[in-house]
Chains A and B, each alone.
Chain A
Amino acid sequence: MNPLLSVQDLHVDAPGEGRSILRGVHLTLDAGETVGVLGTSGSGKTTLALALLNLLPPALRARGRVEFEGHDLRTLNHAALCAVRGRRCAMVFQEPLTALNPRQRVGAQVAEVATAHGEHDAARAMRSAIDLLGRTGLTDPGERAQRFPHQLSGGERQRVLLAMALLLDPALLIADEPTSALDVTVQAQVLQLLREQQRARGMALLLVSHDLGVLATTCRRLLVLHGGRIVEDAPTPQLLAAPVHPHARALVDTVRPAERRA
């Protein structure tokens, strides 16, 4: 079986600054698989997430192959790419206040995902938006849908983003630090929701984070990104028990409880 996502020798350079951010990333992801990308700041993890969907800022140059469901996303024309984004592969960003339109009610923003992808019945789009907002744990979703982003809490906003991403039942969800800006108890709730939705839908999840705890409790396989390269790729239990690369070892050591330290 072909993998759902296959990245071959992906490079991203910042020519203006004369530096490389990604230096030959290889990764594959099967349908329904949960994979975590662990990296410290500056490791290139956000650049990787953006590069997968051709969302890099214009100042950055990418080369390499990003194959998703048999299409090379890097060479797909704009219309074909738009058909993939949102429908087959969706993304959740870290900061929901910047990812949401401040001047549009959140229900309309979720419903817009459906209408942009061909749903002609606006009322039906809104109904499915409200239904999904309810399933992501928003209390009184009909009322919340009428609110603007600033009238919601951080956790509620992140649930809205997740609803937008899940509306068309994507095969792959890319989530870049989706809980880092949240309070710890809200983070735990949103992670739980993410795990439930992943399992219920059988979708693949690529979760990008600096937090090994978040990744280890959500993903079955972990990749460690360091200096623009993947330096380790292992099933979660193996990475926790016996990290090989020194950087991976250092990261595991920061969360290893005292009784498990050598």
Chain B
Amino acid sequence: MTALLDIRDLVVDYGAGNAHPAAVDGVSLTIARGETLALVGESGSGKTSVGRAILRLVEPAAGTMRFDGTDISTLAGDALRRFRRRAQVVFQDPKASLDPRMRVGDIVREGIAIHRLASHAKGDLRVTHLLEEVGLSAADVGRFPHEFSGGERQRIAIARALAVEPEFLVLDEAVSALDVLVRRQVLELLARLQAARGLTYLFIAHDLAAVERIATRVAVMHAGRIVETAETATLFSAPASPEAQALLAAIPKIPW
């Protein structure tokens, strides 16, 4: 099976000079269609930079990135826009990622309009369906982001990402700011959407415990490099790298 995403020797350097190591320092990874790869590491390990480089929100300094066989590291103009329809992102903080002055309907519709995916009337219907699919209601189109709870706002961000019918989602700490109960509901929603739409996820998190139930495989990052990649069950039962062992040891051991 060919990978949906294949990254080789990716380098992201924010130009702090030679004194500072690169944020991403030679990362290679593949993600198969339909799987969830969790990218886990402490703050500063470079995991968010990997996600941003894939989406071309930061320019990689070196390396190759292939998406469905196409080199995406040098895409520009229309070709880049077409790629971004296929690859979307949900960020950690929906308070920051949703425009507070736009109504929910317009937020979700914007991508449909930019990519000319539907006429206005059909777009309306699509927005309604999306909101219902993520557990909100058609009546929410006229409301503003601040009228929703944190979990509901994250559902809006997910609906916005799905509006352009992507194949691939970068979920960058997408549930980290949520309460445990809300987190569980949003994770269940993401799993349902993945099954229904055949989505592929890159799930970025700082906490191993958060990825146990959603990830197919886990890659552990440290200081700009991937130090271990393993099936989720294997990583939890027999972590090989000191970094994975430390992350696992840090999960509080509840005395059941």
Contacts and interface: CB of A to CB of B under 8 A. Distances in A.
Nearest to A259: B256
A216 B254 contact: yes
A184 B251 contact: yes
A170 B253 CA distance: 28
A240 interface: yes
Contacts of B250: 184-185, 187-188
Contacts of A187: 250
A149 to B, nearest CB: 17
Contact size range, A: 20 to 34
Interface in A233-262: 236-237, 240-241, 250-251, 254-257, 260
A63 to B, nearest CB: 28
B16 interface: no
Nearest to A187: B250
A131 B181 CA distance: 42
B179 A210 contact: yes
A210 B182 CA distance: 12
B180 A217 contact: no
A236 B184 contact: no
A40 interface: yes
Interface string B231-256: 00000000000000011011111111
B159 to A, nearest CB: 22
A210 B180 contact: yes
Contact size range, B: 20 to 34
Given A41-B150, A184-B247, A254 B184 contact: yes
B43 interface: yes
A121 interface: no
Contacts of A240: 254-256
A152 B240 CA distance: 31
A212 interface: yes
A191 B256 CA distance: 19
B207 interface: yes
Contacts, number: 63
Interface in B3-45: 42-43
Nearest to A256: B256
A140 B256 CA distance: 38
B107 interface: no
A109 B228 CA distance: 42
Nearest to B150: A41
Contacts of A250: 181
* Interface core residue of B208, B255, B256 (most chain A CB under 10 Å): B256
A45 to B, nearest CB: 12
B206 interface: yes
A15 interface: no
A184 B207 contact: yes
A213 interface: yes
Nearest to B41: A183
A205 interface: no
B179 A40 contact: yes
B180 A40 contact: yes
A183 B42 contact: yes
Interface string A195-231: 0000000000000001111101100000000000000
B252 A217 contact: yes
Contacts of B208: 184
Given A184-B42, A210-B179, 10 more contacts: A40-B179, A184-B208, A184-B247, A187-B250, A188-B250, A217-B252, A237-B255, A240-B254, A240-B255, A260-B256
Identify the 5 closest CB pairs spanning chains A and B, nearest first: A213-B252, A188-B250, A184-B250, A40-B179, A217-B252
15 contacts: A40-B180, A40-B181, A41-B179, A183-B42, A183-B43, A184-B207, A184-B209, A184-B250, A188-B249, A214-B252, A217-B255, A240-B254, A240-B256, A251-B180, A255-B180
